[in-house]
Amino acid sequence: MIKMIVMDLDKTLLKSDGSISKYTENTLKKYKGNGVKIVFATARSEKSASDFIESLKPNAIIANGGSIINAEDEIIFHSCIDKDIARSVFDNLIKSESVEYITTDTDGGYYVNKLVDEDDPSWKDYLPVKYMDFSKECNCEIYKITVETSDINIVQEIKQSFPSIDYVGFSGENWFQFFNKDANKWNGIMRLASFYKFSLEEVVVFGDDYNDIEMIKNAGLGIAVKNAIPEVKAVADFICNSNDNDGIAKWLNANKDLFNLDRG
């Protein structure tokens, strides 16, 4: 039986407009009410996912791409980039003319290298955004560093220079995230399975993008939404409907026999 449902948020659980339908919300609440663990696995911070956390009240959140794991309102894992390494990453990014934005998620909030238009909807989930001069020392715990750049070479050079960190890109975008190698979604799932004393065969995951590939490939069942990139579909066990057509909820309701839903 499947005991844990793990979902990416953007372009997977969330519709393209950033919403969740009542159908999907009610489906997930039904499964949770039957004892199935509901988990978000997202590159977002807990703060930027707070609206969805509040509405669905998942059992656990793998946030910042795996840098923080909150299970049953308890932080069971967190991983910060070494401050000296972060300092060098910032220095390399600052020197590159191709870099537009540098942002970082920290224990002190969300920081960016230039002022942003807070009326721009692309920033709404990150407000309040704080300005930081990344040429100066940052005394915060840094969970991830995100950069917008048209030059993949600077990203790859940073990874090669610092073997303890890794990066992930996002399809159709020039955004890349750096994080500790031990902090990814799949490692987060393994930690949660251990926490709940589940086998990995008892886990189903849903995703769409590059940072979902490993978890979809390795979990008991890996499901790609119809709008996923080809690389995700290639490793998935099944392809469900798209994020805009309640793909997760429809798959769950079509596969009830994989779950123990004795409570109705």
The pLDDT tens digits for 102-139 are: 999 998 888 999 877 666 776 666 767 788 899 988 88
pLDDT at 208: 98
Instruction: With residue 93 as reference, give the H or E element that holds it.
Output: helix 83-95
Which domains are assigned to the chain?
4-78+183-258 (3.40.50.1000), 83-180 (3.30.1240.10)
Residues whose CB is less than 8 angstroms from the CB of residue 254 and which lie 6 or more positions away in sequence, other chains included:
none
Phi-psi region of 72 (alpha: psi -120 to 50; beta: other; left: phi over 0): left
pLDDT at 158: 95
The two three-digit tokens of residue 131, written as one number: 């300005």
- Residues 244-260: pLDDT tens digits? 999 999 999 999 999 98
pLDDT at 139: 85
The two three-digit tokens of residue 31, written as one number: 């499964």
